[in-house]
């Protein structure tokens, strides 16, 4: 892994014990696909990061400086994952956010995950709490996802389907949920919990996906399921616990449409 | 501030960018009063830390080693605050908690907060989400408290009263709530949100406090309010937004009872 941390424009090698990200999860992050030295969906990641920074009152670092450091780190990288972490910085009296905090941010270059076949999902025992103030943004309070992922691993599954406190499906621990019903793809609303994924946003903008409140019955009776995220693209789902689905042409079709706009997500790179 | 971080028994000076506390708030903490080189409620803090570690599946560091480092750091300290932070450590594939993670933990010695007079509270706009899996323990997902504290500061108040999504009062951002009704002290249940404070636990065990579901009407019509935490003891409340209370003898009585068991919380050290 190659990584670097900064306070403003000052390079650090590690992070202080007093960092508010470490103490309170007081920060935001973006996890992005790197392809031939570029971040294909950078503008969408940036929009979400700014939305989160506005909601939490965290100052954004100088964008031109960040982009220059990203360009240095990803230059010549054929494929990989870039994580940008932005925390409020150090200090303050307890929880009180200091007005003059200098945000600490870091970049980490990681390998692209190994392609997998169709995924096995487990309906996580851990539920997502309803918190509109934090819903949609990619903040660093992720214990629910950590516990949900542990639920999925205990069930020997690849990913966990997370439900809200009312029992309705919301998303996977690190991907959004796509549900095919009557030949149309829908995805749950994220106004109370969940992260508004960048690829989910692209699919909505392209008219390939619509938002609909779904029950677990709707998911279990669906024609097909898939997951999406900005690193791995569209991932077919083979099973949700005991319920299994055969491959569906609508999943392959959605992947082809994505690959037309973003060729790095083509089938040859991530087998169905 | 004096601080030190460790992986197991190995001393670090700072924390890695890959630390899961920093990335996901995947950790726990205790904030403890130091008095003449001792931690008066250490056993109660330890019980809560172990409860949290069990709930999150985080390994506890070697207790004798931790206690020896605490003794070194607090030796000769007349009064102060010791923060113990325990994170799951580094690594793992995304949210998945690594089975073999070596927990990273740190100790920080901070000054005792300046004593204040009776507090002014603000009913925070930010609500607490209902999440039984995380309720009660002192984990590091604290964005709700950060936002709540910011609400209180914007209202020029000393602390924020946090309500759950149903509108019922739960606790302050960094203290538990004590409500005097019919001459008896009660405090809200914490099975869906909030932190089970160590001093709250002592008051319950001593029979000085009982748990009761309370509405905002119950709080506003109370005979007196107070807050409690293990660093500052029992703090009288002067006002909740527009509602004000004169000093009440039951608050002074409760503080006397605490000072009999724990003299460091005597009135002379924290004026009413």
Determine which of A131, A137, A166, A193 to mutate to test the interface with B (most B C-beta atoms within 10 Å). Answer: A131
Distance from CA of A257 to the nearest CA of B (A): 27
- What's the pLDDT at B272? 40
- What's the pLDDT at A271? 43
- Of the candidates A30, A39, A217, A211, the residue with the CA atom closest to the CA atom of residue A138: A30
Determine which of B4, B12, B69, B141 to mutate to test the interface with A (most A C-beta atoms within 10 Å). Answer: B141
- Of the candidates A263, A165, A198, the residue with the CA atom closest to the CA atom of residue A29: A198
- What's the pLDDT at B60? 96
Query: What is the Cα Rg of chain B in Å?
Result: 19
Contact A236, A118 (CB under 8 A): yes
Partners of residue B26 in chain A, C-beta under 8 Å: 142-143, 146
pLDDT above 70 covers a percentage of chain B that reads 97
Q: Do B25 and A56 touch (CB under 8 A)?
A: no
Distance from CA of B160 to the nearest CA of A (A): 11
- What's the pLDDT at B228? 98
Distance of CA A64 to the CA centre of its chain: 24
DSSP secondary structure of A236-265: EEEEETTEE----HHHHHHHHHHHHH-GGG
Partners of residue A27 in chain B, C-beta under 8 Å: 22
pLDDT band at residue B226 under the 50/70/90 scheme: very high
Cα separation, A99 vs A83, in Å, equals: 26
**Helix (H) or strand (E) run with residue B181 in it:** strand B176-181
pLDDT above 70 covers a percentage of chain A that reads 97
**Residue B110, CB half-sphere, CA atoms under 13 Å: how many?**
21
Q: Do A18 and B3 touch (CB under 8 A)?
A: yes
Going along chain B from its start, the domains and CATH numbers come out as 2-110 (3.30.470.10), 119-265 (3.20.10.10)
Which residues touch A270 (CB under 8 Å, ≥6 apart)? A115, A232, A233, A235, A255
- What's the pLDDT at B270? 46
- What's the pLDDT at B267? 63
Distance from CA of A133 to the nearest CA of B (A): 7
pLDDT in tens, A72-99: 999 999 999 999 999 999 987 799 999 8
Say how many C-beta atoms besides its own lie within 10 A of residue B180's C-beta.
18
Q: Is residue A61 scored above 80 in pLDDT?
A: yes
Say how many C-beta atoms besides its own lie within 10 A of residue B206's C-beta.
11
Q: Do A96 and B153 touch (CB under 8 A)?
A: yes
- What's the pLDDT at A253? 97
- What's the pLDDT at B268? 55
Q: CA-CA distances (angstroms) from residue B13 to A17, B4, B16, B65, B107?
A: 8, 6, 10, 17, 11
Q: Is residue A71 scored above 60 in pLDDT?
A: yes
- What's the pLDDT at A92? 72
Q: Do B23 and A95 touch (CB under 8 A)?
A: no
- What's the pLDDT at A15? 85
Q: Count how many pairs of residues, chain A against chain B, have C-beta atoms within 8 Å.
A: 172
- What's the pLDDT at B14? 74
Q: CA-CA distances (angstroms) from residue B162 to A105, B84, B168, B187, B211?
A: 30, 25, 8, 13, 17
pLDDT in tens, B201-214: 999 999 999 999 99
pLDDT band at residue A268 under the 50/70/90 scheme: low
**pTM (2 decimals)?**
0.96
Mean pLDDT, chain B, as a whole number? 95
Q: Do B22 and A148 touch (CB under 8 A)?
A: no
Q: Do B97 and A146 touch (CB under 8 A)?
A: yes
Distance from CA of A16 to the nearest CA of B (A): 5
Say which DSSP state A193 is in: S
pLDDT above 90 covers a percentage of chain B that reads 87
**What are residue B195's DSSP bridge partners?**
B136
SS3 (DSSP) at B100: coil
Distance from CA of A222 to the nearest CA of B (A): 27
Interval A184-194 mean pLDDT: 98
pLDDT in tens, B184-199: 999 999 999 999 999 9
Complex ipTM > 0.90 = yes
Residue of B nearest to A98 (CA): B150
Which of A25, A129, A150 is opposite residue B142, by nearest beta carbon? A25
Cα separation, A173 vs B199, in Å, equals: 36
pLDDT band at residue B92 under the 50/70/90 scheme: confident
Interval A51-75 mean pLDDT: 96
Angle CA B191–A130–B222, to nearest 5: 50
- What's the pLDDT at B93? 74
pLDDT band at residue B1 under the 50/70/90 scheme: low
Q: Is residue A272 scored above 50 in pLDDT?
A: no
Distance from CA of A183 to the nearest CA of B (A): 32
Distance of CA A221 to the CA centre of its chain: 26
pLDDT band at residue A8 under the 50/70/90 scheme: confident
pLDDT in tens, A132-185: 999 999 999 999 999 999 999 999 999 999 999 999 999 999 999 999 999 999
- What's the pLDDT at A270? 47
Determine which of A124, A141, A194 to mutate to test the interface with B (most B C-beta atoms within 10 Å). Answer: A141
């Amino acid at each position: 892994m190659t990584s670097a941390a900064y306070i403003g424009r000052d390079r650090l090698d590690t992070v202080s014990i007093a960092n508010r990200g470490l103490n309170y999860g007081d920060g935001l992050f973006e996890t992005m696909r790197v392809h031939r030295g570029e971040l294909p969906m950078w503008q969408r990641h940036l929009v979400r990061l700014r939305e989160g920074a506005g909601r939490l009152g965290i100052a954004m670092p100088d964008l031109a400086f960040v982009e220059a450091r990203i360009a240095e780190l990803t230059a010549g990288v054929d494929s990989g994952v870039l994580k940008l972490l932005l925390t409020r910085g150090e200090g303050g009296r307890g929880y009180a956010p200091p007005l003059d905090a200098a945000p600490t941010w870091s970049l980490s270059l990681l390998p692209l995950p190994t392609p997998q076949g169709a995924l096995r999902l487990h309906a996580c025992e851990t539920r997502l709490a309803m918190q509109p103030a934090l819903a949609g943004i990619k903040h660093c309070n992720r214990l629910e996802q950590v516990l949900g992922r542990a639920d999925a691993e205990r069930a020997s599954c690849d990913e966990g389907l997370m439900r809200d406190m009312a029992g309705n499906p919301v998303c996977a621990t690190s991907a959004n949920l796509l549900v095919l019903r009557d030949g149309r793809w829908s995805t749950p609303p994220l106004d109370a919990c969940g992260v508004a994924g960048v690829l989910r946003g692209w699919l909505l903008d392209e008219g390939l996906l619509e938002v609909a409140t779904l029950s677990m019955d709707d998911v279990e009776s669906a024609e097909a399921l898939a997951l999406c995220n900005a690193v791995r693209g569209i991932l077919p789902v083979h099973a949700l616990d005991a319920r299994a689905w055969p491959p569906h042409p609508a999943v392959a079709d959605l992947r082809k449409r994505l690959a037309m706009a973003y060729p790095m997500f083509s089938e040859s790179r991530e087998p169905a």
